[in-house]
A and B are shown apart, each in its own frame.
Chain A
Amino acid sequence: MLDWTVPGYRAVRELRRGTSATGLGERTVLGTHLATGLPVLLRHLDGTLPEADLDARRADARLLAAVRDAHVAHLYEWVETDLGVALVRQYVPGASVRSVLRGSRLAPAAGLVTLRAGLLGLAAAHEQGLAHRGYKPENLLVDAEGTVRLADFAASRPPHSPVDPSATATPDGPAATAGGEPAPPARRDGFDDERARDVRAAFATFVAAVTGGDNPDKLPRKLRGLAGAAAALDGAALLAALEPAARAAIGADWHQRGARELASLVAKAQPTSRKGQR
């Protein structure tokens, strides 16, 4: 199939090409919006999506478009054509957390900045009823000033597919049941589960970025308490615990230090970072 691009945009450079989880060709292209010159990222899914999948993805696009938050890469357009589907989103010049890591670890301050931004981005999306469903370092984008944005919502697997209950279970169980209170009724579409999985993935990503593994006990001592807050799988509670822990572990200027560290990593990673932005 010939490559195609969204009318009104000019393709500048292909960043990534592969096959999506559903077997469709997937291309990520850096482009410009002809009318304004704005750089954008175009994600093309080539081929025909099943109707149900298309409906769900379109619904997710509408939800994502309503998320206007500084920690989320904005969705500009959803386009369906005879050749496939494309999403046009804000281009974040810089690099993904995956690219800046390059197999090494983030300093705790930098890791905390990514966790805070990720949780704020998730909160804004959850507020609109949208789960990320694919939170990982590749989807955390850092610009030249160390600002972090969460990107590529709802791209990792078919929307609203059944959630594996074992995937959300934790040794402590969800907070709602810990105190003997009955758990709130789960939404039929599994949104509550997906929201909890997002929060868990955000914390796991943070732990992996800072420690290189999955054991929160290897975090700096004053940050280990975050694991307790994270186990509740409640993003707001984790955010509330993050600020005092960060101040205690690093100091009042933890955020500035973290952003500076990230900016410096981006500057080093930049020559190859464009391949890292998905």
Chain B
Amino acid sequence: MQTNTELWLDRTLRTGAVGTWWSAGTPGGGTLGMLQLEPDLVAQEAARQRVAAVVAKLRAANPPGVVRTTELVYETRRAWLVVATVPKPTLADLLAGHGGSPLPTGAAAGLAVDIATALRELHAVGLTHGDLAADTVVLTGAGAAALTEVGVLAAIQDAPADVTRDARAWAALARTLAAVAGAEESGLLVAAATTAESGDLTAAARRLALAAASLPDFETRDALAASLPALDQAAPPRIPAQRESTVDRIGGPDGTVAPTGEAEPTVTVRLRFGPGVPDQVLASTSPVTAAKDEPAPPRRGWLRRLFSRR
């Protein structure tokens, strides 16, 4: 069935590994999120079909802890992923926006448990995230964490489902959270990260949940939830400054985000040794100049839905 409902693009939220997120308005006055997939990444029909297959699987399973994907929309050469809620703020916003003030006690461990639980739900239905990072985790209004961009990058790259990659990415996130958490919570997160790095995400999450349950406010997300509106105000849309190919991205950084109020440097020499692959030297000795192939933002306007909601 085809619905032909129209959506209004509102503003860009951020640019990530696979494209640019927008908030969008619906005719009924509601809002939702739209991810414009980078045209080059889905230029091949095969890549589009793989993304469509992942989206179909996600819609069918609708696993808890994942921002619900409602449809995949094609508009001439562009492809858009539509999700049910505006996916902001992200965990990356939280980490950046908190500055010197600590997270509420229990919040970091609580978020890590949320993410691990969502990953396990995904794995249980045969899906993997494949690109778990601070900017693909969204904070809900209730102060919980939910996943976005599930399986999209892996589908584009035709990468096999890799549960241990998710576990390692979770461990990295847990270590990031440990860096901003209080002392006791930090120790729990580091221990859980070490367990997850060995590939056992389930054991890591279970132990963390049990240990963290004794922390004050672990189960109540009120303090974190209350801080989110201010955080959202403090996280203006960010402008993509430099994009690199997804092949480069596997070992090194992806598209670049300039924190607000900071100058954007012109890179003349960049020697990479990780951290995506800590045991492999990815150094390029030739100078690299910042790319200027910033994708043109999509025209502000109406979109036509070609696929209906289930």
Cβ-defined partner of B270 (8 Å) among A12, A40, A79 = A79
User: Is A144 part of the contact surface with B, judged by Cβ < 8 Å?
Assistant: yes
A78 in complex: contacting residue of B257, B258, B270, CB < 8 Å: B270
Report whether A7 and B283 are in contact in the complex, using a CB–CB cutoff of 8 Å: no
Q: Which residue of B lies closest to A65 (CB)?
A: B273
Stretch from A26-34, A111-119, A120-128 contacting the other chain = A26-34
Q: List, in ascending order, chain A residues with CB within 8 A of B135's CB.
A: 34
Q: Given A11-B96, A11-B259, are A79 and B267 also a contact pair (CB < 8 Å)?
A: yes
Q: Is B2 an interface residue (CB 8 A)?
A: no
Judged by a CB distance under 8 angstroms, whether A90 is at the interface is: yes
Chain B contacts of A2 at CB under 8 A? 261-263
- Say whether A13 faces chain B, with CB atoms less than 8 Å apart: yes
Residue in chain B with minimal CB distance to A1: B263
A7:B263 contact, CB within 8 angstroms: no
A93/B183 contact (C-beta < 8 A), A11-B259, A77-B273, A82-B266 known: no
Determine whether the beta carbon of A80 is less than 8 Å from that of B173.
no
* B266–A34 CB distance below 8 A: no
* CB of B268 closer than 8 Å to a CB of A: yes
Q: Is B85 among interface residues, defined by CB-CB distance under 8 A? A: no
A161 interface contact, C-beta 8 A: no
Name the residue on B nearest A9 (C-beta): B253
Judge whether B190 and A145 touch: CB under 8 Å.
yes
Complex Cα spacing A274 to B180, Å: 9
Q: Is the interface of A mostly helix, strand, loop or mixed?
A: mixed
**Complexed CA–CA distance, A61 and B265 (Å):** 20
Within A7-63, which residues are at the interface with B (CB < 8 Å)? 7-13, 30, 32-40, 58, 61-62
- When distances are taken between beta carbons in the complex, the residues of chain A under 8 Å from B265 are 4, 6-7, 81-84
Closest residue on chain A to residue B274 by CB atoms: A76
The CA of A76 and the CA of B281, in the complex, are separated in Å by: 9
- CA of A191 to CA of B291 in the docked complex: distance in angstroms? 39
- With A77-B270, A93-B175 already in contact, the answer to whether A36 and B133 are too (CB < 8 A) is yes
Q: Are B275 and A36 in contact (CB under 8 A)?
A: yes
Interface status of B217 (Cβ within 8 A of chain A):
no
**What is the CB-to-nearest-CB distance from B240 to chain A, in angstroms, rounded to a whole number?**
10
Residue of B nearest to A30 (CB): B179
Q: Is the CB of A37 within 8 A of B132?
A: yes
Contact A3 B242 (CB under 8 A): no
Is A249 interfacial (CB-CB < 8 Å)?
no
The residue of chain A having its C-beta at the shortest distance from the C-beta of B267 within the complex is A81
CB distance from A46 to the nearest CB of B (A): 10
- A82 CB contacts on chain B under 8 angstroms: 265-266, 268
A39 and B175: CB pair below 8 A? yes
Please provide the chain B residues from 82 to 113 with a CB less than 8 Å away from any CB of chain A in the complex. 92, 95-96, 99-100
- A270–B184 CA distance with the chains assembled, in angstroms: 9
* Cα of A78 to Cα of B274 in the assembled complex, Å: 10
A7 and B290 in contact, given A34-B92, A35-B133, A91-B179 (Cβ under 8 angstroms)? yes
B37 CB to nearest A CB, Å: 17
User: Does A271 make an interface contact (CB < 8 A)?
Assistant: yes
Tell me the smallest distance from the CB of B71 to a CB of chain A, in Å.
27
Q: Which residues of B contact A267 (CB under 8 A)?
A: 183-184, 187
Nearest CB of chain A from residue B24's CB, rounded to whole Å: 24
As a 0/1 sequence over residues 61 to 90 of chain B, the CB contacts with chain A under 8 angstroms (1 = contact) are 000000000000000000000000000000
> Smallest CB-CB separation from A270: which chain B residue?
B183
B172 touching A37 by the CB < 8 A rule? yes
**Contact between B179 and A79 (Cβ–Cβ < 8 Å)?**
no
Q: Are B252 and A35 in contact (CB under 8 A)?
A: yes
- Bound-state Cα–Cα, A37 to B175, Å: 9
CA distance A144 to B194 in the complex (A): 11
Q: Point out the residues of chain B lying under 8 angstroms from A58, CB to CB.
A: 269, 271
If A11-B262, A35-B17, A37-B176 touch, whether A144 touches B269 (CB-CB below 8 Å) is no
User: Do the beta carbons of B173 and A61 come within 8 Å of each other?
Assistant: no
Residues of B within 8 A of A33 (CB): 253, 275-276
A residues lining the B interface (CB < 8 Å): 1-13, 30, 32-40, 58, 61-62, 65-66, 68, 74-84, 88, 90-91, 93, 143-145, 267-268, 270-271, 274
Q: A13-B99, A37-B134, A77-B274 are in contact. List 11 more A-B contacts (CB 8 A).
A: A2-B262, A5-B262, A7-B242, A10-B96, A58-B269, A61-B271, A68-B278, A77-B273, A79-B267, A90-B275, A93-B179
Pull 7 A–B residue pairs with CB atoms less than 8 Å apart, ordered by A: A2-B263, A5-B262, A13-B99, A37-B173, A38-B275, A65-B271, A79-B271
